[in-house]
Chains A and B, each alone.
Chain A
Amino acid sequence: MKLRKVTAASAAVLALALSATACGGDSKDDSGSSSSGGGGGKIKIGIKFDQPGLGLKEPDGSYAGFDVDVATYVAKQLGYSADKIEWVETKSADRENALSRGDVKLIAATYSINDERKKKVDFAGPYLLAHQDLLIKKDSKISEATDLNGEKLCSVTGSTSAQNVKDDFAPKAQLKQYGGYSECIAGLQSGAVDAVTTDDSILAGFASQDKYKGQFKLAGLKLSNENYGIGVKKDDTATLNKVNAALTKMVSDGSWQKAVDKNFGPAGYKNEPAPKVGVIVK
């Protein structure tokens, strides 16, 4: 008897919970459709939350970084002021699905344009040309890619950068892989590895954090070309064109350069000139 009561109660709770989530889902859909109509609604933009200099959620809940600045500018051109933006974390593995499901309208999250991804989403931009590079200690002697053989290198498990090192640049280098770049930087600081490799923009962001200022430098090797684009849902040409126009304007009115200086400045990062929309550097 007692057991039956418990079962009934838990069933009721479950039903309540289910209906509550159903409501939540509905209202989310509503706001999504109204925002796509433009005007008073909100816009959801996907960024990284864990990449200093590009997309970082600060402890106080605000967002900072180059991707954030670019997305804010673009959103403004689309008719959404900064307070109408809802930031959504889009991890690398989830970016294509977040766009196709309609969870986010735009993605500005160190999203390199490549052919496989272009089958699934459309890219506006590129808005930044980054290169795979090395972050090394201030007094390190590494100056070209062949110096890497025999050195200890660190990157993130599964990342394109880690694969590039193994396949192309330095097959004889020791590659240590961690789940995130913070672990690699800790290893670089303690001397367990000689260099950390990924896009120079990401490395510059980490190196210009206050706790690391002045300890590291970029090697400036330009090991690859990474064209960062803004991801838009496949075949949403209207939005794509508007974003491209916004990016062009951002470069021409000087806001682009200002955002670069603000976010990558302290690490001695030499940025490429602003890329032209539609021109992908292979």
Chain B
Amino acid sequence: MKTELPVGIINRENSGLKKLKPDIPRITVGLATCGAAVGGTAIYERLRESIQKRNPDLSLVPTGCIGYCREEPIVTVAHPGKPLVLLNRVSVKDCDDILNAVLSGTVPHDKALCRIEEWDHLMGHNITYGRGFDEIPLYDEIPFFGQQKKVILRDAGIINPEDIDEFLAVGGYSAAYNALRNMEPDTVLEEVEKSGLRGRGGAGFPAGLKWRITKEKKSDKKYIICNADEGDPGAYMNRNEMESDPHMLIEGMILGAYAIGTDEGLIYIRAEYPLAIRRLKHAIAEARELGILGENIFGTDFSFDIQIATGAGAFVCGESTALVASIEGRTGRPHPRPPRLTDSGLWGKPTDLNNVETWCNVPVIIKNGSEWYRNIGAEKNSGTKVFSLVGDVEKVGLVEVPLGTTLKRIVFDIGNGGADGKAVKAVQTGGPSGGCIPLRLFDTTVDFESLNAIGSIMGSGGIVVMDEDTNMVDIARYFISFATGESCGKCIPCREGLKHTLILLNRILAGKGTAEDLDTLKSLSETIAATSLCGLGQTAPNPVLTTLEYFRGEYDSLVKL
């Protein structure tokens, strides 16, 4: 199959492999938003200047984030034929030591976190970096990494997101190439259906089914959209996916466009993500240049291109109908469904909308087959999910695990429990639409049904850990204040109901509440959930309802009973 690839692309792939496994030492610096913010940028600049002066033959490249955010800034060193070594918590003053070590054929051992001898990029090449440095632990021996399964984040933090050659070198675009040349659109669609992939944006709607509905609509024009609004506070996996491996998203969208039959795709991304926007634009330009986007992709008669539309700071714009209104240049207020986007979406045309991570799952499914994919995860919840594990947890970071993994495993085995030795009390999942889950329910598995059953949701995958010092009534107030501020104001239950909920919570927190207020709080919440127009209002009371249910004692102690 490979020999069929256009010569230009094969050359780029080979050049990418050389960069990843160079004949000269390769140093990378994690430059996703958070790594850059805690010093990565300064480290990169410092290394660049020193390399220029001392030995311009070293290779220095920016990467995205490998997910262990607590250990940023992370620098990696790969000597030819030796393992890739991760250095953690690097600072500018370590740069000279790093370079001295690299120039004498080794790595600074006091900074070494772990080594990677081989890496399965899953899409093609299984790269063997080499052996040696046995005294540095292996990647899998680090609990934070060892218990994860990286499918979506397989390349994050390892390849240069601003260099299409490296993406090609790890098997990127091979699924799209193979599909466009050798598979019928229907076959691609069937594979996605059989994989059981469910939308990663919150509701878990089967992706293949949504694609099919859009495909079967008769229309001269159709659109596909990527929802990169990532409005949930506390969730940042989509940002990392775009910053660390933007071509993965583009490849997923090409496959979707081919299966559904459309020539135009859009990525709606929040303006708060300038680096992700920049890297996506760069990746789109690189793909166009190689004929991977645009007219007659890979020399076939299939044409497809992607544009970027930026949001402007309204949480409700993540909701599908509001998102479309926003792209059309209107205020992002939801409208009742039906009509669904699949019937009448962007500019009135059938439109398929999926979350960033949903699209990112598609290339591996097509490459490795639906059966391979279904073997990961749980019953009716196939595949992995990337979670952002943040808040009062020791090992903060992005965690990718098979669906069906327990909260306990994520928070304690991977996250190592509370930060600063404090006891974990609860986690909040699903952002403002989710709920607070008490420690005693941590045997719950993270999948769409289990979390719903206990009043929360998976949402986009934010997991905010809260320790013993957290006041759960205050957390409920925080979320209601967030939702009140973000309500678009179109319907009364949400606009007025949330405002009153907030007043009640403030009163209770000020010690002026009564037992009756708690009853009002509950019934008001239920009414808002039942009568609001869109998902924002329907789910906004969840943090109140779950804290009332699981932490009732905290409310009781604040009111005069």
Say whether A and B bind each other: no
Q: Which residues of B contact A (CB under 8 A)?
A: none
Q: Which residues of A contact B (CB under 8 A)?
A: none
